Amino acid sequence: MAADPRSAFRPASAELAQLLDGLATCVLWLDAEGSILHLNEPAEDLLAVSRNHAAGRSVREVLKGNAELEAVITRARAAGAQYSRRELQFEGGPAAPPRFVDLTVTPFEPPGFPGGVVVEIADVTQHQRILRENALLTQLGGSRAMVRQLAHEIKNPLGGLRGAAQLLERQLRDPGLHEYTTVIIAEADRLAALVDALLGPGQPPRKEPVNIHELVQHVGHLLAAEAPAGVSIERDYDPSLPRLRLDRNQIIQALLNLGRNAIQAVGERGRIVLRTRALTNASIGSRRYRVVASIQVEDDGPGVPAELKDTVFYPLVTGRQGGTGLGLAVAQDLISRHDGLVEFDSRPGRTVFTLLLPFDNHELGKST
């Protein structure tokens, strides 16, 4: 009968275990059969399993749902040489968002443990997120400047077109022809409103201390009035959130845009959740903050189409027939004026747009 790897491990390798526990990255020590001899504390956190529960179990069982990671480990063990892969997607469970990891598998055969390997998993999700956010901010800055320049070029001719239509309407003797000038004027007004949205607010945010939950609650009432009867609006608030210094009207508009996008996504029946949280030691782009407010708008719609995920915040980009493609772009612009960012995670059945706002340090001591 084979010896229990847990009983063999404890007396022979306490020093090795202590060494592995001192590493900041996630480490698993496997025997020749692929069973787990030991995993350190960071690995317990990443895999959501205790070392006592994992010891002696197959790594395939512990990494369930991560076939690519299993394949890399199997390949490295078969080759008997170090093997590395970068930026593999790691699934932590049905409720957890996907993470990205760098994986290194190294032969490790101390006396009494032939054929063993050490699996090192470095969580690079935060690094990937910072790179993605910086790229997004750079791209948005360039596209915003181009669109605003184009909007300025369009605005003046529109005014001339509307004025000419009004003069023509006064000269027309046949009232039946007024229908055409009315259409011209209405379309000119519609395009002017579109141009104004592209140009964004004409003034910087007028910041004042605001109870974020009163603001989100107000947005929730507005969305409930607009949503079909089969759409539920739920709230999940963190009562510990302090007041934020922000422009109330601009944040309401940003949240309304995100909420209306969710309503359009779920259709006649669905669920929308407004959620607030306080994130500690969080980053927005390359800047790190002690506390960041997270306001989420979650829906259970079909998700953002794959072909739109890289451009969803660009002006005039839309996957909906008849949409202007401005709602998300305007929301991102308004939040960027508060040194914040809107990001999203989307899969079929669950899309979350997260509005991140840094706290003003002078407001940290105040409560809601």
Position 258 scores a pLDDT of: 93
In total, the chain counts a number of residues equal to 368
pLDDT in tens, 30-62: 888 778 887 887 777 777 777 777 778 877 777
Q: Exposed, middle or buried by CB within 10 Å (0-12, 13-18, 19+), for 306?
A: exposed
Whether the pLDDT of residue 313 is over 80: the answer is no
Position 312 scores a pLDDT of: 73
Tell me which of 96-100, 130-134, 320-324, 355-359 is least confident.
320-324
Whether the pLDDT of residue 366 is over 70: the answer is no
Greater pLDDT, 132 or 2: 132
Domain ranges in the chain are 5-123, 129-199, 208-363
Average the pLDDT over 227-242 and give the result: 89
Would you call 62 helix, strand, or coil by DSSP? helix
**Rounded to an integer, what distance in angstroms lies between the CA atom of residue 354 and that of residue 290?**
18
Position 6 scores a pLDDT of: 43
For the chain, percent of residues with pLDDT exceeding 70: 75
Query: Nearest Cα to 344, choosing from 313, 366, 302?
Result: 313
Query: Nearest Cα to 103, choosing from 81, 118, 113?
Result: 118
Q: What's phi and psi for 81, nearest 5 deg?
A: -140, 160
pLDDT in tens, 190-232: 777 766 666 666 567 788 899 999 999 999 999 998 899 999 9
Query: Nearest Cα to 129, choosing from 255, 287, 241?
Result: 287
Q: Are 55 and 6 in contact (CB under 8 A)?
A: yes
Query: Residues 277, 278, 281, 282: is their CA dihedral positive or negative?
Result: positive
Position 361 scores a pLDDT of: 46
Q: Exposed, middle or buried by CB within 10 Å (0-12, 13-18, 19+), for 137?
A: middle
User: Six-digit token pair at 17?
Assistant: 């275990």
Determine the Cα angle at 296 with ends 295 and 299, to 5°: 160
Greater pLDDT, 74 or 291: 291
40-44 contacts, C-beta under 8 A, 24 or more apart: 43/121
Whether the pLDDT of residue 240 is over 70: the answer is yes
208-363 carries CATH number 3.30.70.1400: no
How confident is residue 148, by pLDDT bands cut at 50, 70 and 90? low
Tell me which of 28-37, 116-125, 140-149, 284-293 is least confident.
140-149
Fill in the DSSP letter of residue 35: B
Whether the pLDDT of residue 178 is over 70: the answer is yes
Would you call 341 helix, strand, or coil by DSSP? strand
Query: Residues 59, 63, 67, 73: is their CA dihedral positive or negative?
Result: negative
CB atoms within 10 A of CB 208: 11
Fill in the DSSP letter of residue 50: -
**Rounded to an integer, what distance in angstroms lies between the CA atom of residue 356 and that of residue 280?**
12
Q: What is the pTM of this model?
A: 0.57
Query: Nearest Cα to 129, choosing from 100, 103, 95?
Result: 100
Q: What's phi and psi for 44, nearest 5 deg?
A: -60, -45
Position 192 scores a pLDDT of: 75
Please provide the CATH number assigned to the domain covering 5-123.
3.30.450.20
Would you call 91 helix, strand, or coil by DSSP? coil
**Rounded to an integer, what distance in angstroms lies between the CA atom of residue 340 and that of residue 133?**
11
How confident is residue 299, by pLDDT bands cut at 50, 70 and 90? very high
Greater pLDDT, 119 or 246: 246
